[in-house]
Structure formats: C-alpha cells, structure tokens
Amino acid sequence: MSSDSVRNVIIVGSGPAGLTAAIYTARANLAPLVIEGEPSSTSDQPGGQLMLTTEVENFPGFPEGVMGPDLMMNFRSQAQRFGAEFLTEKVTRVDFDSRPFRVYVRDTEYQAHSIIVSTGARSLMLGLESEQRLIGHGLSTCATCDGFFFRGHEIAVVGGGDSAIEEATFLTKFADKVTIIHRRDELRASKIMQDRAFANPKIEFLWNHTVTELLGDTKVEGIQVTSTIDGTVSTLPVTGVFVAIGHQPNTDLFKGVLDMEDSGYLITQPGSTYTNVDGVFACGDVQDHTYRQAITAAGSGCMAAIDAERWLEANVHS
Ligand code: NAP
C-alpha cells in the first residue's frame, strides 16, 4: 500500500533534533512529514527522552525552567504552525537503495527525496518496575540535567564505566555524598577517571552490589541493594539515584543500510549531518555520544534541515 505522492523530506523521530529539523524544513516550504514514534514505547515515544524528565533548567530561553514534556509540545506546535505533518506511528522498515527513498509503517509505504534520521538514543536502565514510577522524581539518567536538584543530598550512581565516574564526580559539586554502586570490584572506567574519583572525599564505593529496588511512592526515599557475592540485601538511605550503565542509539532500523560505529551510533561526515547515503541526513543523539543535550540535538536538527534543503535544491529541484 502506498501513501500518496513523493515528499521532499521525511523526518524519522521527534525529539529536539527531529522537531527542530521539522520547524526549519517546514519554514523552507518543504512540507515535512514527521513520523514521530509510538506513545506506548519507552524508546520510540514522541518527543524523545525529554518526555521522561520533569523540570529542564538548562534549555536557553526559559529563565524559570520548563517541564520536559511542555518543552516538546512547544517544539511540536511550532513545527505544526508552519505546516509540518505528523504521523504517530513507528517506522518498521526503510529502503534507501532506490530513489525516491522508501519508509514503511507496517504495510504502508511513504516515499521521499530526502530523509532526516533523528531516532535518538535511550539510556540503558536497570529493568526494575519502580524505575517507570520514579524517573524524574529522584531517579535520573543525566547528571548535567538534574544534578542541581540534589544540592545537599546523599545520592547514588550506578555503574562502573567512564559515564558513571564522570557523573559521580560532577555530582559532588552539589551532593554531600555520592555512592558509586558497581556490580564488580573493579571499574571499567579509564585510569585517570578512576584516580580522580578515588581522590574525591565525597565519593564512596559500594563494590559487588546491584540495585534491586527503588524505594518511595512519589519520590526516591532509598534503594535496596543486593550483594553479587552472597546475595545479602541491604538498604541505602539515598534521595537520588543516577543510572549510568550506558546508552543505546535507536539504530536497529538502519543496520546494513547506514554506516554506524560498532556501538551503533550513526556516522556523519564531520561538520555536517551527511550520512554515507547521499540525501539521508542524521542529527541528534543517534549520531552523538559525546554531548547528548537537548540544545545540541536541536542545533544538529537545524543543521540537518539546512543540509537537506540545500541538497534538495542541488539534486532534485534544480
Ligand atoms: P560502559 O563503558 O559500557 O560502562 C557501563 C558500566 O555499567 C559498566 O561498568 C557495567 O558493568 C555497568 N553495567 C552495565 N549494565 C549493568 C546493569 N544492568 N547493572 C549494573 N551495572 C551495569 O558505558 P559508559 O560508561 O556509558 O561509556 C560508554 C563509552 O563512552 C565508553 O567507551 C566510555 O569510555 C565513553 N565515555 C567517555 C567519557 C570520557 O572520556 N569523558 C565519559 C563517558 C563515556 P561491568 O563493568 O561489570 O560490565
């Protein structure tokens, strides 16, 4: 089943990158179609990762802060105002071998001359039911975003890689005490990061433990930890938990189609949003494992829109 004509651009994903690309391409009269994801999914939900946060205080232009979901609704309304069209579905397959490109939602085929991929990344989580309840209420996956809210608190960071150590070190600017909980007795993090953490008087380590429950109904009031050595269960009275056990870019759709790193992040040409397929652009966290901020994602969404607009002008509309 084919859905109407060939579009100028289809944007896959609707976090800050995709919606900024939508605003820019809509204002350039390219009538973008945004396939925004499915509300029921935690990795593909419309609006992206900011839908899982509460207050955002570092997005420029909001001196009083803004709630993550409200910010994303504003992005979306702004794109709609200029004519962006939205489809609340999940892309199930892509075909970038022939032109126009083809994007499928189950049996329905959508065609476009250019594609902007902005499917984002997701933080790996512990897999506890209580995570759904407490995310944004003491449970976080981003120290840069939420550290400020833990001034004077005793908190925990889960993980033993560079992210965990970096986040824990950053969090000591705010928290009185940060306990790094690691499932082994040896860190994966680089030596220099380890040394920094060992020398920090506010950081303590709880080795050979995993977090097996988050306590509290409406906010984190403690955590239950279990020894990986003998199964002993104990409680830590922390009011914040940062999970830093890695990220996973949402790139399953593009395996074998677009060039990606071993870790799954899409590869773009330096200083641009061009992928290895001419006419397909990538922006936001799906191609950025370094900054991972809403504002950097939005900035690269703007870049993708401008790249796509110029590419269409040179290759399709000329
Ligand atoms: P990572 O290196 O994969 O480390 C993940 C950590 O989480 C590991 O210590 C792992 O334990 C632990 N872990 C995984 N699943 C777990 C679970 N279910 N329960 C408890 N613990 C779990 O991820 P990352 O720290 O996010 O780093 C990703 C990449 O980015 C790395 O290449 C890293 O060097 C890089 N990075 C660099 C910097 C920097 O240089 N400034 C900062 C951040 C990230 P095990 O050790 O037992 O596997």
Domain that holds residue 80: 2-122+247-315
pLDDT digits (tens, 9 = 90+) for 78-131: 999 999 999 999 999 999 999 999 999 999 999 999 999 999 998 899 999 999
Pocket probe for ligand 1: among 158, 187, 245, the residue whose CB has the most ligand atoms within 8 Å is 245
Structurally, the chain folds into a number of domains equal to: 2
Give yes or no: residues 146 and 239 share one domain.
yes
> Residue 44's pLDDT is what?
67
Are 276 and 282 in contact by the 8 Å Cβ rule? The answer is no
Residues 87 and 108 placed together within one structural domain of the fold: yes
Specify whether 69 is located in the same domain as 146: no
Q: Is 97 found in the same domain as 12? A: yes
Round the average pLDDT of the chain to a whole number and report it: 94
Which carries the bigger pLDDT value, residue 49 or residue 300?
300
Same-domain check for residues 164 and 152: yes
> How far out from the chain centre does Cα 318 lie?
36
Residues 275, 163 share a domain: no
Considering the domain architecture, whether residues 173 and 198 belong to the same structural domain is answered as yes
Q: Check residue 268 and give its pLDDT.
A: 98
- Same domain? For 42 and 77 the reply is yes
32-41, 129-138, 281-290: the lowest-pLDDT one:
32-41
Residue from 163, 192, 206, 229 whose mutation best tests the ligand 1 pocket (most atoms within 8 A of CB):
163
| CA-proximal residue: ligand 1, atom 35 (nearest) | 162
pLDDT at 13 over 60: yes
Closest CA to 131 of 57, 236, 210, 52: 52
Residue 41 predicted with pLDDT over 60: no
Give pLDDT, residue 248: 94
61-84: average pLDDT? 95
| Same-domain check for residues 168 and 304 | no
Same domain, 75 and 161: no
Looking at 193, 226, 243, the residue that finishes a domain is 243
- Residues assigned a catalytic role: 142, 145-146
CATH number of the CATH domain containing 284: 3.50.50.60
CA 149, CA 168: separation in Å to the nearest integer? 14
Report which of 59, 70, 119 is spatially closest to residue 90, judged by C-alpha positions.
119
The residue whose C-alpha atom lies closest to atom 38 belonging to ligand 1 is 162
In the predicted structure, residue 39 carries a pLDDT above the cut 90? no
Q: Which of 185, 218, 243 is the last residue of a domain?
A: 243
Residues 141 and 238 in one domain: yes
Residue 1 — very low, low, confident or very high, per pLDDT cuts 50/70/90?
low
The region, left, alpha or beta by phi > 0 then psi within -120 to 50, assigned to residue 65 is left
296 and 280 assigned to the same domain: yes
- Measuring CA to CA, how many Å separate 292 from each of 13, 14, 26? 15, 15, 25
Mean pLDDT of 40-62: 78
Pocket of ligand 1 (CB under 6 A): 126, 158-164, 166, 183-184, 188, 210, 245-246
The predicted structure's pLDDT at residue 311: 98
- pLDDT, tens only, 220-277: 999 999 999 999 999 999 999 999 999 899 999 999 999 999 999 999 999 999 999 9
**pLDDT category of residue 51 using cuts at 50, 70 and 90:** confident
Picking from 189, 214, 243, the residue at the C-terminal end of a domain is 243
Residue 35 tokens read as 């396939």
State the pLDDT at residue 18.
Answer: 98
Q: Is the pLDDT of residue 278 over 70?
A: yes
14, exposed or middle or buried, with CB in 10 Å at 0-12, 13-18, 19+?
Answer: buried
